[in-house]
């Protein structure tokens, strides 16, 4: 069973943000999704979590239950003005045990403190999240992912506007997750981070430009094509007929399926 | 001195059954409205609460026309009208380009106009004033039972849905990602809001009932830094407002609704000035910064 996308198309106002994307993610390893703004990177993650419905095609999670995904959306979506404590935020990561109504077990609390310790915020447990810097808050969210203990981890621009030392610490967690055999998929904008920590890369520009080993994907030629392809928005684009004509797998650039197992 | 205090604060309740009933009613009201208001504020739905309170009027008016000044009849009518406006306005904002606040504003104005028209056509001016501004004198046993039931139900349901409801305003994407449909909790919450508005309008009137939700909750943010703390402060201020408002209303023969709300408002102003978690004066007191 593999974690893969089958001819996935997602559109906003009929304009595709992700267009006929097929391919398989390396299981138990780290894949970066790389590409210009508006390339559909976040959209792919949202479709994998089930936050948006694809127009056509599908996501196959390869036997991973939807509640076994740890998903970190782009930072702005959390209302930090609410008086919620750091500890409570991390403890939501125990949702699989607590659910909406269940009690928080002592083991969950211990795990939460351990996770805060790991990200270097042990003393901040009782602080309100409003009192944290954005870097500290990102550490809290990574602590929550630790608590979620999920086999599949999706990170949407986790290091945007985060300082270098925090980014470095959190990248060590990505390495740790890889070593533990978890699948990590992250939307990133930093070329060096991708090369250093992500063995696989999906280069996206609405369509798959290249997908496979990072060193073979991030070539000048590929990047140029990605940028050239990006953010054309035609108000009167014609209707796409790819699905009517050919078998889905033929309609996309061949996505090198880089599967480890 | 003690005699005067006794006469001012205690005697009305000892002497008159209707004052005891009104007091019980306002305690129940504070217990329900305080927490509901706090969630309205945290969910940034303050104006929606306001709109809903006005939307209740035509339903209450129909209940009044059919059964006279009876809280259960007016309550059922008000609940149906409030929920209709909440659901229709919600659907409109979801399926058209009209934003939710604008959609609520449009429908509550429609409902309010309809309500005023109904009451002025079929009731006297005195009735209109009763419905709009409330009256403690008319709190009978049936009304008391209704208000107390709503408060009990509110606290129990809030206790059950507390976690998903809070998380839905704090981090909706997370809730969605773990496969919880936040919409159902939003809907349950809306039902509670309308129920509490209905509970409030006997004592406070339809126009004022939202005040006991919003004002204590808004004040609470100025005193506490945790949700639990804010809940306690909100209920406390609502309780004091109810008590103070009732006494003033009794001694000076004023309509209870506006007086209770004015009491809450004066506590809001005090909170703005002295609130330990963000009030004006504590900020002016210059404290030296800490070493780290």
Q: What is the DSSP string of B77-121?
A: HHHHHHHHHHHHHHHHHHHSS--HHHHHHHHHHHHHHHHHHHHHH
Per-residue model confidence (pLDDT) at position A235: 64
Which residue is associated with the tokens 């149906």? B80
Asked if the Cβ–Cβ distance from A83 to B176 is below 8 Å, we say no
Residue B98 has pLDDT above 90, yes or no: no
User: What mean pLDDT is predicted for residues B265-291?
Assistant: 87
Residue A9 has pLDDT above 50, yes or no: yes
Residue A253 has pLDDT above 60, yes or no: no
**Residues B119-164 pLDDT 10s:** 888 877 677 777 777 776 667 888 888 899 999 999 999 999 999 9
**Residues B186-238 pLDDT 10s:** 999 999 999 999 888 777 877 788 889 999 999 999 999 889 999 999 999 99
A124 CB within 8 Å of a chain B CB: no
What does the alpha-carbon distance between residue B40 and residue A164 come to, in Å, rounded to a whole number? 39
Asked if the Cβ–Cβ distance from A77 to B171 is below 8 Å, we say yes
**Residues A66-80 pLDDT 10s:** 888 999 988 667 888
Whole-model pTM: value is: 0.85
Which of A92, A96, A126 to mutate: most B Cβ within 10 Å?
A: A92
Residue A252 has pLDDT above 60, yes or no: no
Q: Between B130 and A103, where is the model more confident? A: A103
**Residues on chain A touching B176 (C-beta within 8 angstroms):** 49-51
Residue A257 has pLDDT above 50, yes or no: no
Which residue is associated with the tokens 């506490």? B224
Confidence of residue B177 (pLDDT cuts 50, 70, 90): confident
- A19-A22-A23 Cα angle (round to 5): 145
Complex-level ipTM beyond the 0.90 threshold: no
% pLDDT > 90, chain A: 54
B41: distance to nearest CA of chain A, Å? 10
Per-residue model confidence (pLDDT) at position B137: 63
Per-residue model confidence (pLDDT) at position A256: 46
What does the alpha-carbon distance between residue A23 and residue A253 come to, in Å, rounded to a whole number? 10
**Cβ atoms within 10 Å, residue B181:** 12
A25 CB within 8 Å of a chain B CB: no
Closest in A51, A79, A101 to B160, CB measured:
A101
Residue A12 has pLDDT above 90, yes or no: no
- Return the number of CB contacts < 8 Å for A and B: 58
Contacts of the segment B145-149: beta carbons below 8 A, 24+ positions apart = B146/B71, B146/B72, B146/B75, B146/B199, B147/B25, B147/B28, B147/B29, B147/B32, B147/B71, B147/B199, B147/B202, B147/B203, B148/B24, B148/B25, B148/B28
Per-residue model confidence (pLDDT) at position B136: 64
Asked if the Cβ–Cβ distance from A85 to B178 is below 8 Å, we say no
What does the alpha-carbon distance between residue A135 and residue A140 come to, in Å, rounded to a whole number? 9
Confidence of residue A214 (pLDDT cuts 50, 70, 90): very high
Asked if the Cβ–Cβ distance from A128 to B225 is below 8 Å, we say yes
A170: distance to nearest CA of chain B, Å? 20
């Amino acid at each position: 069973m593999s974690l893969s996308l089958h001819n996935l198309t997602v559109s906003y106002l009929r304009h595709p943000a992700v267009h006929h994307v097929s391919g398989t993610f390396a299981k138990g390893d780290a894949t970066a999704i790389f590409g210009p703004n508006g390339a559909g990177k976040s959209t792919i993650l949202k479709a994998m979590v089930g936050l948006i419905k694809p127009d056509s095609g599908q996501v196959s999670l390869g036997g991973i239950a939807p509640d076994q995904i740890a998903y970190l959306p782009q930072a702005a979506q959390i209302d930090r003005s609410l008086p919620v404590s750091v500890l409570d935020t991390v403890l939501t990561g125990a949702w699989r045990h607590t659910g909406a109504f269940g009690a928080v077990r002592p083991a969950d609390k211990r795990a939460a403190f351990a996770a805060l310790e790991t990200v270097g915020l042990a003393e901040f447990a009782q602080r309100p999240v409003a009192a944290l810097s954005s870097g500290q808050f990102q550490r809290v969210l990574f602590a929550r992912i630790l608590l979620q203990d999920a086999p599949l981890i999706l990170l949407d621009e986790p290091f945007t506007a985060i300082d270098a030392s925090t980014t470095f610490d959190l990248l060590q967690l990505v390495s740790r997750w890889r070593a533990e055999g978890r699948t990590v998929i992250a939307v990133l904008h930093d070329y060096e981070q991708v090369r250093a920590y992500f063995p696989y890369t999906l280069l996206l520009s609405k369509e798959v430009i290249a997908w496979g080993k990072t060193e073979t994907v991030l070539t000048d030629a590929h990047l140029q094509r990605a940028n050239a392809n990006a953010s054309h928005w035609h108000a009167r684009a014609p209707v796409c007929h790819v699905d009517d004509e050919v078998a889905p797998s033929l309609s996309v650039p061949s996505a090198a399926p880089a599967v480890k197992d | 001195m003690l005699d005067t205090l006794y006469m001012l604060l205690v005697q009305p309740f000892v002497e008159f059954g209707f004052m005891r009933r009104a007091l019980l009613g306002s305690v129940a009201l504070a217990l329900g409205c305080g927490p509901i208001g706090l969630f309205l504020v945290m969910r940034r739905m303050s104006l929606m609460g306001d709109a809903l309170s006005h939307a209740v009027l035509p339903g209450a008016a129909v209940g009044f026309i059919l059964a006279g000044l009876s809280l259960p009849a007016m309550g059922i009518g008000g609940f149906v009208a409030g929920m209709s406006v909440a659901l229709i306005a919600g659907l409109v904002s979801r399926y058209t380009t009209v934003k939710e606040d604008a959609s609520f504003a449009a429908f509550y104005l429609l409902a309010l106009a309809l309500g005023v028209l109904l009451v002025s056509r079929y009731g006297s001016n005195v009735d209109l004033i009763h419905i709009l501004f409330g009256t403690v004198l008319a709190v009978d046993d049936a009304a008391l039972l209704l208000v107390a039931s709503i408060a009990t139900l509110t606290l129990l349901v809030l206790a059950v849905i507390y976690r998903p409801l809070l998380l839905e305003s704090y981090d909706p994407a997370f809730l969605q990602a773990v496969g919880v449909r936040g919409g159902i909790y939003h809907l349950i919450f809306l039902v509670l809001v309308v129920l509490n508005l209905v509970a409030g309008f006997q004592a406070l009137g339809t126009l004022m009932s939202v005040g006991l939700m919003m004002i204590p909750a808004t004040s609470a943010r100025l005193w506490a830094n945790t949700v639990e703390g804010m809940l306690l402060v909100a209920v406390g201020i609502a309780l004091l407002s109810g008590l103070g408002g009732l006494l003033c209303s009794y001694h000076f023969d004023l309509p209870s609704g506006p007086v209770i709300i004015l009491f809450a408002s004066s506590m809001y102003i005090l909170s703005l000035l002295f609130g330990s978690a963000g009030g004006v004066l504590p900020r002016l007191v210059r404290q030296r910064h800490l070493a780290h």
